[in-house]
Structure 1
Amino acid sequence: MLKKILISRIVVILGNFLTLNLVISTFYIMKSIEVVAGVITDGGRIFATQRGYGDQKDGWEFPGGKMEPGETPEQALVRELQEELAIEVNVGEKICTVEYDYPKFHLTMHCFYCSLAAGCKPKLLEHEDAKWLDRENLNTVNWLPADVEVVKHLL
Structure 2
Amino acid sequence: MVAALIQEGHRVLLDRRHQGSLAGHWEFPGGKVEPGETGRQALRRELWEELGVEASVGAKIGSAHDLTPDTERTLVFYDPPLHDQPQAVDVEVIRWFHLDELDELPMPPADRPLVEVIRRRHAARKARAR
- Name the TM-score class by shorter chain: 0.7 to 0.9
Which of 131, 137, 140 lines up with 2:95 in the alignment?
131
Cα displacement (A) at 1:106: 1.0
Match of 2:108 in 1: 144
Larger CA deviation: 39-48 vs 78-87? 39-48
Q: Within the alignment, does 1:84 sit opposite 2:23 as a pair? A: no
Deviations 1:35-65 (A, max 9, x none): 1101112344210111000111011110111
Higher strand share: 1
Preserved contact between residue 48 and residue 133 of structure 1 (Cα < 8 Å): yes
- In the alignment, structure 1 segments of 5+ residues that lack a partner are 1-34
Q: How does 1:1-155 map to 2 (within 5 A)?
A: 35-117=1-83, 120-155=84-119
Whichever of the two has the greater Rg, that structure is 1
State the AA in 2 paired with 1:141: L
TM-score of the superposed pair, with normalisation by structure 1: 0.71
RMSD of aligned residue pairs (Cα, Å)? 1.4
State the AA in 2 paired with 1:114: P
- In the alignment, structure 2 segments of 5+ residues that lack a partner are 120-130
For 1:130 and 1:41, locate their aligned partners in 2 and report how far apart those are by CA, in whole Å: 13
Higher helix share: 1
Preserved contact between residue 42 and residue 115 of structure 1 (Cα < 8 Å): no
For 1:106 and 1:121, locate their aligned partners in 2 and report how far apart those are by CA, in whole Å: 33
When residues 90 and 43 of structure 1 are mapped into structure 2, their CA distance, relative to the original with a 3 A threshold, is farther
| SS of structure 2 residue aligned to 1:78 | helix
The count of corresponding residues between Structure 1 and Structure 2 is: 119
